[in-house]
Every structure is written in structure tokens, then in C-alpha cells.
Amino acid sequence: MFDIEKITRTFEWPVVVEVPTKNGGFERFKFTCKYHQVDIDELKSCDGTDKEVANKVLAGWGHDLKRGDEPLEYNDESRAEVLAYIPATAAIAKGFYEAMNGDKARLKN
């Protein structure tokens, strides 16, 4: 049974950032992304770009996102740094769509 009162305002989902390498391939890095549970009207207010969607839904990340050997603290500065990196922004938006409905929403855009 679906109980609307049991919907949490945030949730966690694994994302994979594909970082281009100098030899023309990709190196994949996985981390746990924390998302805001947004309603459809909030999502429709975005322009649909990965940057805007990621900016709207990103609520934090797990201890598996690091700077060197240390977990990267979630704050305004680190958030801006992560969202400025295109592969990370794309992975965050993609992860949100995957969590919501198997990436079907993204295929419609």
C-alpha cells in the first residue's frame, strides 16, 4: 500500500560520475547523492538542463565523496565546486531521474 505520509523529504541514491581520461576513455567514480524529494511543479519550473535540475534537487552527499583521503564536507562552497564540474552535474541529474522512474522522465525531454 502506498502511504503518502511515509514519503521522506530527502533520500539517498548512488550515482556514477564518468570522468574523461586523456586517452579518450572514462574513469568511473561512484558516490552516494542525497536528494530533495521535489514535487512535479518544482521540477517543471526548472529549464530542464542538468545544471538546473541538479541545483534544485541536490541535498548533500555521503562520506564516499572525498577530497583526497577525507570525506568532502557538504557546504555552500563545496556544493558550488561539485556543481561546477559538468560530469558531476550530469551524474547528479541522471541519478535523480533514475531514482524517480528509471530514467524515463529524462528520455521524454
| pLDDT (tens digit per residue) in 40-74 | 888 888 888 999 999 999 999 999 999 999 999 99
Q: Which residues pair with 70 in a beta bridge?
A: 67
For residue 64, what are the contacts with CB-CB under 8 A and spacing of at least 6?
30, 31, 32, 71
The model carries a pTM of: 0.84
Alpha carbon 67 to its chain centroid, in Å, reads 18
Q: Which residues pair with 17 in a beta bridge?
A: 29
| pLDDT (tens digit per residue) in 12-28 | 999 999 999 999 999 99
